């Protein structure tokens, strides 16, 4: 699976290098130089069938409620909901496409690319006591009425502030790198940057950005349900307070709506774990104004 993802990422990156307006070099010649088949330039993946999209949305809702469910339990849940045309193979494929893995300990739960270096987890028993001490990143599935998208967000652990985010219709590393670039440009560098072992975060494009800023790299261990707990909580909050309620039609509509929600989340939503302050109050060191 990891090799297929890597091949897809390489193909997509090469496609971006093709200049169809180049009058001096034909598309055929450009493809030959890049070592890619010209037919792949015109390939468009088939969209998921409506039945599979319905299953994916149900899986997303159940996984948000109970993130410990793996393929077996999710298959049993769907069948109990009268979706008989779904076996373990279909559920496994859809969960992989959505980027979902059960958080309970178990063998072969990681979808990391074996060709990429995996870094140790650096935050075990380390208290996070200040902003920019540790940032985390993760990707989640966002359902749309007629499709789906992927949301990546970078969060400051101490303040819970969302520093940057991006939406994409493909699970490549480009939109993850864009989110990282924005966070680094606007807010400086954290001491430690934590992620899971997904191929987007172990890719050289992503890792090199962190190394260039001399940031310590930390990655969740297999079966470690609490390593990235703040981001998991964030996904649950976003889906219950925004995505499930609004029912976005398109990625563009989701971008506008999520932009409004993240502004609310950072600047207006008070957190009991932050002594009833907003993430932005904590991140910027501001004190909450008391009501008159």
Residuewise pLDDT in 10s, the chain (292 residues) = 444 445 555 556 666 667 777 777 777 777 777 676 665 555 455 568 889 999 999 999 999 998 889 999 999 999 999 998 889 999 999 999 998 877 654 433 345 555 567 788 888 888 889 999 999 999 999 999 888 999 999 999 999 999 999 999 888 889 999 999 999 999 999 999 999 888 899 999 999 999 999 999 998 765 455 556 777 888 999 999 999 999 999 999 999 999 999 999 999 999 988 999 999 999 998 654 434 3
pLDDT at 36: 65
- What is the model's pTM? 0.76
How far is it, in rounded angstroms, from Cα 253 to Cα 177?
22
How far is it, in rounded angstroms, from Cα 179 to Cα 209?
11
pLDDT at 2: 44
pLDDT at 60: 94
User: What region, left, alpha or beta, does residue 275 occupy, with left being phi > 0 and alpha being psi -120 to 50 degrees?
Assistant: left
Query: Degrees (nearest 5) of the Cα angle 95, 53, 198?
Result: 30
How far is it, in rounded angstroms, from Cα 237 to Cα 234?
5
pLDDT at 49: 86
pLDDT at 14: 63
How far is it, in rounded angstroms, from Cα 96 to Cα 115?
19
Are the C-beta atoms of 135 and 180 separated by less than 8 Å? no
How far is it, in rounded angstroms, from Cα 148 to Cα 55?
12
**What is the end-to-end Cα distance of the chain in Å, rounded?**
59
Query: What is the maximum alpha-carbon separation in the chain?
Result: 71
DSSP 235: H
């Amino acid at each position: 699976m990891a090799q297929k993802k890597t091949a897809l990422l390489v193909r997509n990156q090469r496609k971006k290098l093709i200049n169809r307006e180049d009058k001096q070099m034909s598309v055929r010649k450009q493809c030959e130089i890049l070592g890619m088949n010209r037919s792949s330039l015109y390939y468009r993946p088939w969209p998921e069938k409506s039945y599979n999209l319905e299953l994916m949305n149900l899986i997303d809702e159940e996984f948000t409620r109970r993130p410990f469910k793996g393929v077996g339990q999710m298959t049993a849940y769907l069948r109990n909901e009268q979706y008989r045309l779904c076996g373990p193979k279909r559920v496994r494929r859809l969960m992989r496409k959505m980027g979902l893995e059960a958080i309970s300990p178990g063998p072969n739960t990681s979808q990391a690319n074996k060709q990429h270096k995996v870094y140790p987890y650096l935050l075990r028993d380390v208290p996070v006591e200040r902003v920019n001490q540790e940032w985390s990143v993760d990707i989640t599935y966002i359902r749309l009425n007629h499709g789906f998208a992927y949301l990546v967000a970078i969060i400051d652990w101490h303040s819970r502030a969302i520093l940057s985010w991006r939406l994409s219709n493909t699970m490549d590393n480009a939109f993850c790198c864009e989110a990282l670039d924005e966070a680094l440009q606007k807010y400086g560098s954290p001491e430690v940057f934590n992620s899971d072992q997904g191929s987007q975060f172990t890719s050289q494009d992503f890792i090199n950005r962190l190394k260039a800023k001399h940031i310590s790299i930390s990655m969740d261990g297999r079966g470690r349900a609490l390593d990235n707990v703040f981001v998991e909580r964030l996904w649950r909050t976003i889906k219950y307070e925004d995505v499930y309620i609004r029912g976005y039609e398109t990625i563009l509509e989701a971008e506008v709506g999520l932009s409004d929600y993240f502004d609310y989340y950072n600047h207006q939503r008070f957190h009991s774990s932050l002594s009833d302050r907003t993430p932005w109050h904590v991140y910027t060191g501001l004190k909450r104004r008391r009501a008159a």
